[in-house]
Amino acid sequence: MKKFVLAAVAASLLATPAMAAPQRSDHGPHRTVERSTVVKKQVTRTPQRHYQQQPSRQQYQNVRNWQRGERFDSRYARNYRQIDYRGSSRLYAPPRGYQWVQSGNDAVLVALTSGLIGAVIGGVLAN
């Protein structure tokens, strides 16, 4: 049985180069003919979708309403600055790790490390 398996492996190794040799065509010993087909495809453009343009920073500032639990981003706050809670009768002392900031006429209590909003008091800083 061992001899039969070895003979089959040897025969397959010898037959491999013969099967890989190029086939000769009817047009001569070394001449091969390649045929190719050209398919013409018509490409049509689909209409582009017009996405709504993002509002500019100035437009966004005028409509920004901060809510508790959101992440505060000072780039979108109008008149952004830190404020002292002692200057207003409606603001209270911020807890440890929080600070009061101004966004327009609103006072926003923001966590220093995460930027999450803890409270929003509207119209406190109106003149």
> What is the rounded CA–CA span in Å between residue 61 and residue 77?
6
What would the pLDDT profile of 99-124 be if each residue is shown by its tens digit? 999 988 899 999 999 999 999 998 88
What would the pLDDT profile of 61-114 be if each residue is shown by its tens digit? 455 788 999 999 888 888 889 999 998 888 999 999 999 999 888 999 999 999
Q: What is the DSSP track for 33-56?
A: ------------PPPPP-PPPPPP
Q: What is the DSSP track for 75-119?
A: GG-TT-EE--GGG-SS--PPPTTEEEEEETTEEEEEETTT-BEEE
